Amino acid sequence: MTTPVLHDVLVLGGGNAGLSLAGRLRRDGCRDVAVVEPSPVHRYRPLLSYVAGGTATLDDLTRPQDDVVPDGVRRYADRVVAVDPERSLVHLAGGETLGYADLAVCPGSEVDWDAVPGAAEAVRTPHAATSYVPDLAPRTWDMLSALTSGTAVFAISDRHVPCAPVGLKPLFLAADHWRRTGVLDAIRVELAVASPRLVDDPRAEPALRAAARRYGVRVRTSTTLESVDAAGRTARLRGPHGTDDVAYDALYLAPPHRAPAWIAESGLATPGSDGFVAVDPGTLQHVAYPRVWGLGDAAAAEAMPSGGALRRQVPVVARNVQARRTGRSMQRYDGYSVAPVTTGRDALLLAEFDRERRPDPGFPVVDLARPRRSLLLFDRYLQPEIYWRRLLQGKVS
């Protein structure tokens, strides 16, 4: 057995959660922070929905991983295969073993193609795609923009989907395109949302419903995509009144997600966490291992996973790591999350809410749940720059 390389804080995952936390810890004075992230590139994933809607490219959201790792943070370009929380060890695919004083587990989640029979086969055809897989996001716009008649089905799961309401962005961007090009009346648009509502912010729901009516979208809530017949181009939808087989010419998926298998295999999940890191939803500390923390898409934090949620999760974990060591009281995460959703090609709203589905506006003096052009410009152009220049460097308040 190799001698472990020890680190004060070890972060598993170099996405938004991992790098923002690593940067914040360094800014707070932690001198030894390391990140394990195998991918050579870093992607600003919120722009994928714009790629799928024809208003961004993959180049717009991609940077070399080593260029965005915070200063003073060591990166292991390797893959985690197991965690031994009893011995405070992490095993990497290349054979190296790392030790830690505190461990932050935030590797993100992955599409669970097995959850929807036929979905994986469908996205290998020209008639189905998703913005939740980077390589498929450009194909989504190719598919939607080429449609001039027929049926388009948009299916949005509620099973651990990162920022699920953002799946509405490609729908409304495509519908606006179809309207502008004069083909909207020839396209039947079906929207199946597994949740009982389009978004968990009651202030934003009316505007999204109004946008759906404006484009003639048939909205089915509490409706899941049960299976796909890729060869026959048929989507089986299960709703409150049974199943319905809908033939499609274009199928967009916001598919169910799952956590990496090594989380459950390492004992970091519980029967109630569905394979995700079992944390106290307030402190984000693991329920059984005090030196383990979970945040981001892989944590069972009883809140909708989103990049915006990390603005509150990252400071909580960073402060609580120190609180655990000094015996101070811990801060708590209130379940805040946010979903930026376009209502067309010229307006966007912010749905902000906590884990109790209560509105939680970040700027109470301005109604950000009302669609605005300024919000669209901020979300598409300014927010990515803030992400690259500030958030990934730990400048998260």
Domains and CATH numbers, the chain: 5-109+259-335+389-393 (3.50.50.60), 113-256 (3.50.50.60)
Q: How far apart are CA 191 and CA 361, in angstroms?
A: 27
Residue 272, both tokens: 């109630």
| Residue with the two structure tokens 């934090």 | 301
CA distances from 69 to 36, 74, 390 (A): 11, 8, 12
CA pair distance 139, 51, nearest whole angstrom: 9
Integer CA distances (angstroms), 141 to 104, 129, 135, 255, in order:
36, 9, 12, 17
The pLDDT assigned to 360 comes to: 81
Predicted pLDDT at 276: 98
**How far is 349 from 351, CA to CA, in rounded Å?**
7
**Cβ-based neighbours of 289, under 8 Å, separated by 6 or more:** 85, 268
CB distance 308 to 297 below 8 Å = no
Q: Which residues pair with 76 in a beta bridge?
A: 36
What are 391's two structure tokens? 């958030």
pLDDT score recorded for residue 357: 87
Residue 144: strand, helix, or coil: helix
Instruction: Quote the radius of gyration of the chain (alpha carbons, Å).
Output: 21
Strand duo 224-229 + 234-239: pairing: antiparallel
Low-confidence ranges of the chain (pLDDT < 70): 1, 363-365, 397
Residue with tokens 């680190």: 7
User: pLDDT value at position 365?
Assistant: 59
For residues 286 and 279, give the distance between their C-alpha atoms in angstroms, rounded to a whole number. Answer: 4
pLDDT at 363: 64
- Amino acid at residue number 42: H
272/294 Cα distance (integer angstroms): 15
Q: Is the whole-model pTM more than 0.75?
A: yes
